[in-house]
């Protein structure tokens, strides 16, 4: 699974003018399930995100994880993280998991974050969403569970 993680002061997601998810300080996590991903990848990604130390401590250093910072998570599905731009100007998305598998893994990732004790808000899978955020730092981190398998 892939994730683009942004440390935010606040973030919200709307669908057709209706706010469906919102958090204060925490993480906006854009998530994409890839072909071949399963429950193990969703759990592993949630654990890695939870342990990611990108919040400032008392000395102003990025040394705290989400729980230590008291933040929440806004999880938004984003299949475009699977974009392949190696062949021209129009990205291909054939490496993204099929929609139903993607939905299940997106929901499992969110559930895993909840099991870890976080307040989790969500976007709406498959919808045309508008995401607004105030990136804090800015801090933006890319994660891919396939990186662990390769390295």
The pLDDT value given to residue 149: 56
Catalytic residue among 55, 79, 109, 118: 79
The pLDDT value given to residue 100: 97
Provide the residue-wise pLDDT of the chain in tens; the chain has 151 residues.
999 999 999 999 999 999 999 999 999 999 999 999 999 999 999 999 999 999 999 999 999 999 999 999 999 999 999 999 999 899 999 999 999 999 999 999 999 999 999 999 999 999 999 999 999 999 999 999 988 654 4
Q: Is 78 a catalytic residue?
A: yes
Burial group, residue 118, by CB count within 10 angstroms (0-12, 13-18, 19+): buried
Kind and range of the H or E run holding 101: helix 99-115
Catalytic residue among 6, 55, 78, 118: 78
The pLDDT value given to residue 147: 81
CB contact set of 73 (below 8 Å; sequence gap of 6+): 23, 26, 27, 28, 29, 49, 66, 113, 118, 119, 120, 121
Report the C-alpha gap between 1 and 149 in whole angstroms: 12
Q: Is 80 a catalytic residue?
A: yes
The pLDDT value given to residue 148: 64
The pLDDT value given to residue 150: 47
Domain layout of the chain by residue ranges: 2-136
pTM: 0.95
The pLDDT value given to residue 151: 44
CATH number of 2-136: 3.50.80.10
Residues facing residue 12 across a β-bridge: 22, 132
């Amino acid at each position: 699974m892939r994730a683009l993680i942004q440390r935010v002061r606040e973030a919200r997601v709307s669908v057709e003018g209706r706010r469906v998810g919102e958090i204060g300080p925490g993480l906006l996590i854009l998530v994409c399930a890839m072909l071949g991903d399963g429950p193990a990848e969703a759990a592993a990604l949630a654990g890695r995100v939870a342990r990611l130390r990108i919040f400032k401590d008392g000395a102003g250093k990025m040394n705290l994880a989400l729980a230590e910072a008291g933040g929440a998570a806004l999880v938004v599905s984003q299949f475009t993280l699977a974009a392949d731009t190696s062949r021209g100007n129009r990205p291909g998305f054939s490496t993204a998991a099929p929609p139903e598998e993607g939905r299940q893994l997106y929901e499992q990732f969110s559930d895993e974050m909840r099991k870890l004790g976080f307040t989790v808000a969500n976007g709406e899978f498959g919808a045309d969403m508008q995401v607004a955020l105030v990136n804090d730092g800015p801090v933006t981190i890319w994660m891919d569970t396939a990186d662990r398998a390769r390295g």
